[in-house]
Amino acid sequence: MTYPVNETFLSWQGEGTHLGRKAFFIRLQGCPVRCSWCDSASTWHPSHVPNDLRKATADELADEAAAAKPEFVVITGGEPCIHDLNPLITALSVRKLPAHLETCGAYPIAPKLAWVTVSPKWAKPPIAEALATADELKVIVENPESIGRWLSALGGTWPCRTVWLHPEWSQRANPEVLRAITDAVKTQGAPFRAGWQVHKPYAADALDGRSRPPAPLGGDASKGY
């Protein structure tokens, strides 16, 4: 089998518990979730899908990752769990490369992953199985009410020890959103941690010529994207 690959690149993890560590990224094509503020629009939106979409086997991707000598490999998307990730995880394991996953949690998660980040999305909420597998949760804070809404949607209990609160990128300078995150951390402490997409101001991903230019949608819900 082959995987539809949007891009691969060497960078460092810009979010979460593994922030700042050398990582190789495999971004797969395709996403049925389609968030209105998506900053990986080239993985699904017809106005941004690349013409030169690559198809690669698990071994080809694992060999490319191994050549970069990262500390771990991040499998992301799009939504990577719409694909059968077992061959890719196995191929990475053979090369002694830990596989980290970034997913919305709406689909079953393959076993034998070294780390699972679930970032729940309203369009397709996470399933219980995915939440039980998560090592960390990344909550996108679109407005000051987002944190409370997600707590309610998840049954009143956060499912894992670490819950990152990330301002949705177009709201990163919105004082109300930033205040909501700060208040949550200062009031409750754990499991909350204030998050940020640190790789973006560094432009770290773009320094690898294999990465694609970002194609953010801007969050215009009235246009459906």
State pTM to two decimals: 0.95
What is the CA angle 219-183-14, rounded to 5? 55
Q: Would you write out the chain's pLDDT as a tens digit for each of its 225 residues?
A: 999 999 999 999 999 999 999 999 999 999 999 988 888 999 999 888 999 899 999 999 999 999 999 999 999 999 999 999 999 999 999 999 999 999 999 999 999 999 999 999 999 999 999 999 999 999 999 999 999 999 999 999 999 999 999 999 989 999 999 999 999 999 999 999 999 999 999 999 999 999 998 877 776 656 555
Task: With H, G, I as helix, E, B as strand and everything else as coil, classify residue 41.
Answer: helix
Domain assignments of the chain as residue spans, ordered by start: 3-219
Closest CA to 126 of 101, 145, 98: 101
Asked whether the beta carbons of 141 and 171 are under 8 A apart, the reply is: yes
CATH no. of 3-219: 3.20.20.70
Q: b/e map of 187-196 (b: 16 or more CB within 10 Å)?
A: eeeeebbebb
Kind plus residue range of the DSSP H or E element containing 72 = strand 72-76
Q: What is the spatial distance between Cα 210 and Cα 24, in angstroms, rounded to a whole number?
A: 11
